[in-house]
Amino acid sequence: MTETRTEKKTLVVTQIGSPIGRQKDQEATLKGLGLNKMHRTRVLEDTPAVRGMLTKVHHMVRVEAGE
C-alpha cells in the first residue's frame, strides 16, 4: 500500500490591531479567524476563504508563511 500524504500549506496569523471602533463585520471576521485578543497567534490553513477573511482585516493582522 502506498500512502499519499499531501502537505497542506499554512499561514501564521497574529492580531496586531484592536477591533475597538471598527466595523462590526471586521470584529466578527477576527473572531471567525480565532483572533479576539491582541497578540494572539493562530496557524490557519491557506485556503481561498481564509485569504478573503485576511484581506478584510489586513490592517489588524500580521501574516507569515507557515511550515
Q: Residue 45 sits in a domain of what CATH number?
A: 3.30.1390.20
47 lies in some domain: yes
At 65, is the pLDDT very low, low, confident or very high (cuts 50, 70, 90)?
A: confident
15 lies in some domain: yes
Domain that holds residue 60: 10-65
At 11, is the pLDDT very low, low, confident or very high (cuts 50, 70, 90)?
A: very high
16 lies in some domain: yes
Q: What is the mean pLDDT of residues 51-59?
A: 96
55 lies in some domain: yes
How many domains would you assign to the chain?
Answer: 1
CA 24 from centroid of its chain's CA atoms: 17
29 lies in some domain: yes
| Residue-level pLDDT at 66 | 79
45 lies in some domain: yes
| Residue-level pLDDT at 45 | 95
What is the edge-to-edge ordering of all strands in the sheet holding 41-45? 41-45, 10-15, 61-65
At 51, is the pLDDT very low, low, confident or very high (cuts 50, 70, 90)?
A: very high
Q: Residue 49: which residues within 8 A CB-CB, separation 6 or more?
A: none
